[in-house]
Structure 1
Amino acid sequence: MATTDLPSSRSGRPGSSAGRGASGTAPRRPHGAVVAVKNVFVAESSTFYTILGVTLFLVVFGVVMVLSSSSVEQYAKTHDFFGAASRQGLYAVLGVPLMLVASRIPARVWRKWAMRFFGAALALQLLVYTPLGIEVQGNRNWVGFGSFTAQPSEAIKLALALGIGAIMYVKRDKLDDWKEIFVPVGIATVLPLGMVLLGGDQGTAMIMLILVLGALYIGGARARHLLVILGSIAVVLPFVTMSSASRQVRISAWLSGCTDSNQYQDLCWQPVHGMWALASGGVFGVGLGNSKAKWSWLPEADNDYIFAIIGEELGLVGAVVVLALFIVLAVSMIKVIRQSDDPFVKTVTGAIMAWIIGQALVNIAVVLGLLPVLGVPLPLISAGGSALIMTLIAIGVVLSFARDLPGRRTDTGLDPRTFGAGGPAPQNGRLR
């Protein structure tokens, strides 16, 4: 016998006056409102959870490795084994909620505020050249407020991704006209790039170039135009590199393979001891916390060279797992790009992917001796508050895109966005 979802009266007759409103008419069920509330808690896509899970794992893993790699030097300096790890944990506690908040912001809001964010990031970078600016190892790329320091160029990376995404969205119908694309993108790139290079940070500038190229390629720029850009970079890069004496000697040491014994105590100390740390780890490592290189043998053990400590303590297995996690993150972001039909979403996701994955590969290549020392940290793992927080916010932007992919399904096999005010309502306990 057919069932009904109308309330029964005391007499047992469905739809009697006991079940009616004061006007005598049956109350209208707020189907749209109920479904709208339920959609807040609807299951996200598997891509969303994959990106979120890998990110959280890498952040926790990073805090553990910062503790392991920095404990000895921290105790020698401050008699506190947990100094660097505590700070990294605090940055993670701040960054993860910001990532989750960013994941709730719709793509249209990111697009609307992209250029404002870009302008604010440029203003922050200008502080580097004020009395607030701090120079570290020849690079003037930090600002200090008392005991607090920050790196504005990390915010510029996200701002650049959003800015280029907004430009590609506006110019989406003019991709064949190189002037329409590369003039605004060129201006948006040269300004922050020049500011970073003026401070002497070529490593960050290289990551920004990778980000821009990734954004243009994924955003639909023509291959012939990209080849012209690559050719221009190949011509200009040697001049920029040789403009600094410190870069020249570092590249010279890298090209010679650090075979000059006179350079061992200076330029080759860090790369040589990084390779020794990796080699001593073998397949399974010497065990978490048992690194010898961290006993003041390896400079920047918790930052630029943390991958060497991972290889020493966790071995080849641990190093491969880290690489695999970054590959999973890249594949998940590619899924977001493939499933979206929004040029802004595609471009920004491509830029963030190029930034995070490209920076990870550059860092690992430096540790392996495939590139000269560039001072680029390992995303989500290396110590550093500005880098961690801005990387988490950038991943939050991608999560916001993954949350609203076209055709996203619930575990019922239905697209939740087809329900709501005016959508199909439950009938007899079922959805038609």
Structure 2
Amino acid sequence: MKKSQVKPARRPSASQVSTATPSLASLASRWFDKVFRAQSIHFYRLLGVTLFLVTFGVVMVLSASSIDSLVANNNSFSVFGKQSFFAVVGLGVMALVSLMSTSFIRSKAKVLLVGAMLLQVAVIFIGKDINGNRNWLDFGLFAIQPSEFLKIAVILFVASYLAQQSDYLHDRAVWVRALVISGAAAGLVMLGRDLGTVIIMGITFVGMLILAGMPQKLINLVVVVLAVALPLAIMSSGSRMGRITAWMNPNAPDPFEYNWQSEHGMWALAAGRIFGAGLGESKMKWSWIPEVENDFIFAVIGEELGLIGALVVIILFVFLAFAFLRIMQRTQDDFSRIVVSAVMLWIVFQALVNIAVVLRLLPVLGVPLPLISAGGSSLVANLGAIGVVLAIERENHANPYQERRKPGRRR
């Protein structure tokens, strides 16, 4: 009987090895395809409006800050240069985040929340006071406002928590824990006396929980708590109380000039009329409105670009809201849906509050106009949040949601 001959195993050829192991060129090709693959119209709508608002904001910051920058630094472009730098950084962050998977973003939510909380605690002890608010950490070359990044950290963590507890949303304890996390974040910011930021956080977090399905009884309880807490927060500060009183009585004597910004903001809007005085031709920016490139930049927009320019800005934010809303309707999971709704509430309502302050419909709250006002932390945080929404829409486009037809219903 002959023994069977065993053939030695053949080594794979070089071409087979290169096929089995992805080459650098193939990896680069996949990355290029992921970055530049055509996306949905909703992706490009959100991206286009965002890019336009950021570009427009940088131009308006240059116009609004040129005089104060010249007086303070002997350089008309100092504030513009900083804003341009933060715009580039923010757009880079937005692009990078938009390439991440939602599962990866969700996995880092807890780390982001802990880090943002620690930074906000540090503000209480070593923070820098600006205009009576302690809400900044000064690192010498630059200062950051941790509360802006705390907003997106809370949104991501609470959204992840609610999505994880989706089978137990009937349990009141689930919603109470979400409220405690949100309230703790807002409370840390309130310790720095920044009521304007706390109001935006309250609108964002409570609105997020309501849209996520929080029970009506808890909603009523939260409304009662806020109705009691807000007047107490106002009365805890003499300057806050003075601003509220001056806003409610605009014709009363104003020895502390609480209405100075509001009055000159209205004068700027009135001077702009319908077509505006022209880009760069504002008179109120000549030190008549303190730090006009921040909270009152909408007044300069109205003065230089007129009613038409102001209405265009408002319409762009409405368009931005519809872009968010359409993406939210296309999402396939609870986490993504909650995140998109919260980012929409944050950016759109902050814009409305800022514009309402300039129009004297609200007292001065110190809230910037998103994507337009000067301020690096606000701009980078807003663009980072929009990057998360773009990442969600990338996955929506890659995995289109197929609506199930109900039996017996025509379309």
Q: Which position in structure 1 is the counterpart of 2:409? A: none
The alignment partner of 1:173 has SS state of: helix
For residue 134 of structure 2, the aligned residue among 128, 137, 140 is 140
For residue 64 of structure 1, the aligned residue among 59, 65, 69 is 59
**What is the alpha-carbon distance in structure 2 between the residues aligned to residue 294 and residue 38 of structure 1?**
45
Q: Which position in structure 2 is the counterpart of 1:420? A: none
Q: Which position in structure 2 is the counterpart of 1:96? A: 91
User: Which region of structure 1 is more displaced relative to structure 2, 229-238 or 115-124?
Assistant: 229-238
The alignment partner of 1:143 has SS state of: strand
Q: Which amino acid aligns with 2:96?
A: V
Once the two structures are superposed, residues 200-236 of structure 1 have per-residue CA deviations (whole angstroms, 9 ceiling, x without a partner) of: 0000000111110221122222344323212221122
Alignment of 1:201-216 (within 5 A): 201-216=194-209
For residue 244 of structure 1, the aligned residue among 233, 237, 240 is 237
Q: 1:36 to 1:95 in 2, by over 3 A?
A: closer
Tell me by how many angstroms 1:36 deviates: 6.7
- From the two aligned structures, give the one with the greater helix fraction: 2
Q: Which amino acid aligns with 2:277?
A: V
Alignment of 1:30-429 (within 5 A): 40=34, 41-131=36-126, 133-181=127-175, 183-256=176-249, 258-263=250-255, 266-405=257-396
Tell me by how many angstroms 1:345 deviates: 0.4
**What is the alpha-carbon distance in structure 1 between the residues aligned to residue 271 and residue 77 of structure 2?**
25
Once the two structures are superposed, residues 64-101 of structure 1 have per-residue CA deviations (whole angstroms, 9 ceiling, x without a partner) of: 00000010111112121111111100101111011000
User: Which region of structure 1 is more displaced relative to structure 2, 171-180 or 333-342?
Assistant: 171-180
Q: TM-score, normalised by structure 1?
A: 0.84
Identity of aligned residues (%): 44
**What is the alpha-carbon distance in structure 2 between the residues aligned to residue 223 and residue 39 of structure 1?**
46
Tell me by how many angstroms 1:408 deviates: 5.6
**What is the alpha-carbon distance in structure 2 between the residues aligned to residue 227 and residue 355 of structure 1?**
21
Q: Which amino acid aligns with 2:391?
A: S
Q: Which amino acid aligns with 2:309?
A: G
Once the two structures are superposed, residues 161-212 of structure 1 have per-residue CA deviations (whole angstroms, 9 ceiling, x without a partner) of: 111111111121222222222x211221122111111110000000111110
Q: Which position in structure 2 is the counterpart of 1:423? A: none
Cα-Cα RMSD: 2.3
Moved over 4 A (4+): 33-39, 406-409
**What is the alpha-carbon distance in structure 2 between the residues aligned to residue 37 and residue 249 of structure 1?**
56
Once the two structures are superposed, residues 16-70 of structure 1 have per-residue CA deviations (whole angstroms, 9 ceiling, x without a partner) of: xxxxx99xxxxx9x9xx99977852431011111111111111110110000001
Once the two structures are superposed, residues 279-320 of structure 1 have per-residue CA deviations (whole angstroms, 9 ceiling, x without a partner) of: 111111110000000011111210000000000000111111
Q: Is the 8 A contact 1:45 1:408 kept in 2?
A: no
**Which segments of 5 or more consecutive residues in structure 1 lack a partner in the other structure?**
1-20, 23-27, 416-432
**What is the alpha-carbon distance in structure 1 between the residues aligned to residue 45 and residue 210 of structure 2?**
24
**Which segments of 5 or more consecutive residues in structure 2 lack a partner in the other structure?**
1-11, 14-18, 403-411
Q: TM-score, normalised by structure 2?
A: 0.88
**What is the alpha-carbon distance in structure 1 between the residues aligned to residue 210 and residue 74 of structure 2?**
50
Tell me by how many angstroms 1:393 deviates: 0.5
Bigger radius of gyration, 1 or 2? 1
Q: Is the 8 A contact 1:215 1:347 kept in 2?
A: yes
Q: 1:37 to 1:135 in 2, by over 3 A?
A: closer
Q: Is the 8 A contact 1:360 1:378 kept in 2?
A: yes
Aligned length: 380
Q: Which amino acid aligns with 1:205?
A: V
